[in-house]
Amino acid sequence: MLCRNYAKQQVGLFARIISKISALTILQYINFINNKPIGQIKHALF
């Protein structure tokens, strides 16, 4: 979904990309800690 980012400036685009990447990384880390498959990030918080 990086095509639809609605950023008006380049700094906003970079901020949105970094926030999406860091959110995915945190969910993968939660799965790693709980010994679950890393790729299933939709179920990381349950």
Phi, then psi, of 5 in degrees rounded to 5: -110, -15
Reported pTM? 0.70
Nearest-angstrom CA–CA distance, 23 and 27: 6
Per run of 10 residues, the mean pLDDT along the chain (length 46 residues) is 74 90 92 88 69
Using only the alpha carbons of the chain, give its radius of gyration.
13
**Residue 46: per-residue pLDDT:** 63
